[in-house]
């Protein structure tokens, strides 16, 4: 339960399960969740207009996980996920115009138009993808965690997967090594309850996914992924656990995606009632707004005004991104090798 309080200096704040959140921080979390929501809606529209191609996986409904975890992490911590990555990279603070330009396949895309929806990277912000093969990012995250152990650099890796990815073999190989060597990794499962069209109970013998680390002695917890304050609190605990040298930890965040798996999925495998129950009953943005209003920290009008501003901003971002040219054709040949060998075949930068 969230309550309004004033801290020692008299600034308004909200206390959630003993954790104090400043008004500024609450607005930040709210605005980023709402921004992601509107950004994804815009991406959906642009896809409908055939301006975005290929696969496009939206995270509407899952914003609290992206934002809560980001608020719990430090900038130097590594973060990597699977292909449903727009929300995470935006929460991480990457340039939204570059993210939109990437979706549109433009020159100013965050990875120069070479990755698209599934391959967002931002090395400056330690966002390590954007990986397209389900579960593939988990051994890579293990390696990032290993590097922190090797260098003793105090960083934690937030390695994110879904309730689909959790069934890949490489995940368990990674759990084992992470636990064996006590690597500073938080394995976060975004359990949105459907792996594409397959519901959790049709894919997992043990549906309590936070227990999946038990045979590796990895502690696990299940949290409400529709509550940004709960995500922030428990991810902070998990990150602290990993940073303190106690080894990996597993967090299962229960969440829900409002849209289909990808843009081509009408999601007929679940009922409208079920979607509505999550959408109207448990929406993470409405929830934080209500908490803040109830605590007397904000008003409904204020949020309405913010929403108008954010929609305007997203429209401007989309316009700016769309106005960018496509990548220079010469870009096709760049970034294949860091150390290209000029005098051997296939010759860098040319055919034949």
Partner 1 sequence: MNKITYREALNQAMCEEMERDANVFLMGEEVAEYNGAYKVSQGMLDKFGPKRVIDTPITELGFAGLGVGAAMAGLRPIIEFMTWNFAILAMDQIVNAAAKMLYMSGGMYKVPVVFRGAGGSAARVAAQHSQALENWMANVPGLKVVMPSNPADAKGLLKAAIRDDDPVVFIENEINYGDVGEVPAEEYIIPLGKADIKRPGRDVTLVAHSRMTGFALAAAEELAKQGIDAEVIDPRTIRPLDEKTILQSVAKTNRCVVVEEGWRFAGIGAEISARIMEKGFDDLDAPVLRVTGKDVPMAYAANLEALTLPSVAEIVEAARVATGRA
Q: How far is the CB of 349 from partner 1 (least distance, A)?
A: 12
Dump the DSSP string for 250-308.
Answer: EEEEE---SS-SSTT---TTS-HHHHHHHHHHS-HHHHHHHHHHHTTS--HHHHHHHHH
Listed ranges 13-21, 40-48, 120-128, 300-308: which one lies at the site for partner 1 (CB under 8 A): 120-128
Query: Contacting partner 1 (CB under 8 A), which of 12, 93, 139, 197?
Result: 139
Q: For residues 201 and 342, which CB has a smaller minimum distance to partner 1 in the complex? A: 342
Does 150 bind partner 1 (CB under 8 A)? Our answer is yes
Give which of 127, 117, 204, 205 is closest to 162, Cα–Cα. Answer: 204
| Pair 36, 63: CB distance under 8 Å | yes
**Residue selected from 47, 78, 194, 256 as contacting partner 1 according to rule CB under 8 A:** 78
Does residue 99 contact residue 49 with C-beta atoms inside 8 Å?
no
Tell me the window of 48-56, 89-97, 167-175, 254-262 that interacts with partner 1 (CB under 8 A): 167-175
In sequence order, which ranges of 49-136 are alpha helices (DSSP H)?
63-72, 86-91, 96-103
- For the bound state, the minimum distance from the C-beta of residue 113 to partner 1, rounded and expressed in Å, comes to 8
Decide if residue 179 touches partner 1 (CB under 8 A). no
Least separation in angstroms between residue 152's CB and partner 1 is: 10
CA–CA distance, 178 with 161 (Å, rounded to integer): 15
Contact between 148 and partner 1 (CB under 8 A)?
Answer: yes
Q: Judged by CB under 8 A, which of 38, 71, 106, 112 binds partner 1?
A: 112
- Binding of partner 1 by 144 (CB under 8 A): yes
Among 48, 54, 75, 346, binds partner 1 (CB under 8 A): 346
Tokens of residue 157, six digits: 């890796």
- Using CB under 8 A, count the residues that bind partner 1: 52
Three-state secondary-structure class, residue 227? coil
Provide the angle, in degrees to the nearest 10, between the axes of the packed helices 284-294 and 23-48: 150
Chain centre to alpha carbon of residue 59: 8
Token digits of residue 67: 């934002």
Closest contact distance (angstroms) between CB of 20 and partner 1 is 34
* Binding region for partner 1 (CB under 8 A) out of 3-11, 199-207, 254-262, 336-344: 336-344
Q: Is 351 in the site for partner 1 (CB under 8 A)?
A: no
The alpha carbon of 337 is separated from its chain's Cα centroid by a whole number of angstroms, namely 29
Binding site for partner 1 (CB under 8 A): 78, 109-115, 119, 121-123, 128-133, 136, 138-148, 150-151, 169-170, 173-174, 176-177, 180, 334-339, 341, 343-347, 352
């Amino acid at each position: 339960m969230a309550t309004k309080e004033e801290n020692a200096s008299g600034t308004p704040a909200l206390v959630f399960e003993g954790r104090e959140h400043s008004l500024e921080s609450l607005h930040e979390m709210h605005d980023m969740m709402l921004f992601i929501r509107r950004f994804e809606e815009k991406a959906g529209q642009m896809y409908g207009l055939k301006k975005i191609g290929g696969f496009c996986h939206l995270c509407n409904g899952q914003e609290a996980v992206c934002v809560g975890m980001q608020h719990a992490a430090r900038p130097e911590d590594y973060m990597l996920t699977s292909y449903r990555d727009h929300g995470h990279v935006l929460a991480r603070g990457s340039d939204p115009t570059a993210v939109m330009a990437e979706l549109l396949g433009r020159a100013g895309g965050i990875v120069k138009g070479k990755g698209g929806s599934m391959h967002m990277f931002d090395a400056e912000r330690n966002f390590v993808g954007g990986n397209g093969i389900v579960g593939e990012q988990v051994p890579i995250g293990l390696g990032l965690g290993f590097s922190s152990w090797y260098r003793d650099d105090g960083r934690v890796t937030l390695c994110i997967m879904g309730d689909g990815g959790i069934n890949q073999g490489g995940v368990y190989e990674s759990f084992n090594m992470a636990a064996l060597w006590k690597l500073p990794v938080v394995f976060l499962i975004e359990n949105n309850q459907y792996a594409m069209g397959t519901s959790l109970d049709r894919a997992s013998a043990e549906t309590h996914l936070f227990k999946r680390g038990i045979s590796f002695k990895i502690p696990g917890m299940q949290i409400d992924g529709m509550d940004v304050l709960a995500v922030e609190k428990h991810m902070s605990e998990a990150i602290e656990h990993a940073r303190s040298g106690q080894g990996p930890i597993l967090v299962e965040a229960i969440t829900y995606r409002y849209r289909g798996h990808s843009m081509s999925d009408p999601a007929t495998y679940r009922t409208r009632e079920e979607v509505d129950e999550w959408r109207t009953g448990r929406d993470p943005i409405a929830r934080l707004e209500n908490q803040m209003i109830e605590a007397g920290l904000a008003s409904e009008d204020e949020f309405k005004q913010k929403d108008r501003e954010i929609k305007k901003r997203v429209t401007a971002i989309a316009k700016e991104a769309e106005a960018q040219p496509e990548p220079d054709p010469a870009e096709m040949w760049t970034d294949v090798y860091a150390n290209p060998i000029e005098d051997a075949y296939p010759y860098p930068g040319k055919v034949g």
